[in-house]
Structure 1
């Protein structure tokens, strides 16, 4: 176990901001680019470097992409035993890296893998972990990392610090941070790390990977989202929204109320207890605008709200608000779009 003893390691020994560069089948997960963007801002404020930690097998081709998205260094550990994620294998290698190189801050995406991995690393490193954060800042007075996350079912936002241990660790909810811009002129250092991982170090064995076919684009990656809320009145309302979303090249989202009523699967849920999104266009249909929902979509580039209640809170965050019955308004929008398509087809004929 790579346990860091606070008595023998001084805080000034810990330098840099690390990002776990989660990859699956040789593809960097979208949340990594969000973490790199946030790490870059934090590191610049602390006058430190950003490092990405990349584990896998035959993934060295990904290092350049990480550097161009903001990493100054990439620690890469490659081994056949790291080809597929295992909690034992990944936590051992990363905690050993932390013990040797002593980062001040470690950021991990709150994905299925990240939520499994981060607590194990924190325990092995003898430090704390703030999970599922939606905001990160540096305290101007003492330079500590201020980690903010929803608490008490999303009714309050709690800001947490880790004053007595290092590194300061956080998992960050996908979709809440702005992705780092790619800069093809950036250069950085690649540090190859010998993982020293053996088959017997891993208590689980992956026999087979079965993928579930999905027709929809994940809502966190969508540019356009059409979301339905309690105002739909029934699950059949989502058939209309599906038609609308397909027409404008988007995907369907849902409020917690709609999911709790069993009208649509939880994978569509937007909000603090669902998925945080930042699409270019967000259309809220029959969504009242509870704070838990708004927190998960307020950073959308452009927000349109359709609701019969002119006093609905959703209108406070909307760029355009339409007061009326969505079952009258949405079909008219679809009809108008159909007519525009016909005109375009005739013009091209």
Structure 2
């Protein structure tokens, strides 16, 4: 082989080390070999969370800076001298083993993170920007916390899911302080309650007490939510709301799988932080804007879109209600009105 190491003895460990390094960073030379044996990573019935192709691309683009810290030449010598290599090429063996190691580790951690978030996915949905680089962040985490052993296990990680999840949560906590108005205090309270329950159940996460204290601290910082009112301040009767719910259900304007009659009452009447109910309207933004305007006229003028946006316990086909989105969409549809306008009017007749 020609190149910077061409003068090295072709049977030396140093030569093989440099040959391996070239093979790793040239994805075209090992991609086909690995793809032939690509596993389908499953936990129960769930598919892989970090795609195999993402791992391949990251190995090509990011391995070089980490290579020397992962592959110790002395341990590499032990590996070469062992009798455990079942591939005709050392390069084939090591590159496949390493890619599979990263693939399995990243999917294991991704599964544990998903398991941790169960019960309050709404809260973490507020930080959707963190999900965009999740694959790369996970793979980098494995790069930074793994090493080549030179023995039968090949590679080992010096860290685990708990450390990665704690780093992820640290980023979440920083965001709650840097951009507090984007965070719903209702969801934050629900997350505090969920973590307290996890502690009581002795959940297998070693950072829960730390996280609980940080969440409580973040909650104390969100003073803008804790004003004189902790609910919508409606003066209408519960009976009126029940009648409205039944009409919404009859006209198929509400998602009954996510919003029962009890949920509906809790959303509009109860204090925001005493329940986890949510009202899911089967309406687009122009319809929602029309509905809320009619609500103010016929039921209670106290309700404010700014409160709905802040608390995030009412949503429609477009997601959580946002004042700017409602205004923009209603302006575009001002001349033609919302779809099913007659049915929307009917909702408020003879309540």
TM-score norm. by structure 2 comes to: 0.30
Question: Which of the pair is proportionally richer in helix?
Answer: 2
Structure showing greater relative contact order (alpha-carbon pairs closer than 8 Å, 6 or more residues apart): 1
Structure-1-length-normalised TM-score: 0.30
| Rg comparison, structure with higher value | 2
Q: Is the strand fraction higher in 1 or 2?
A: 1
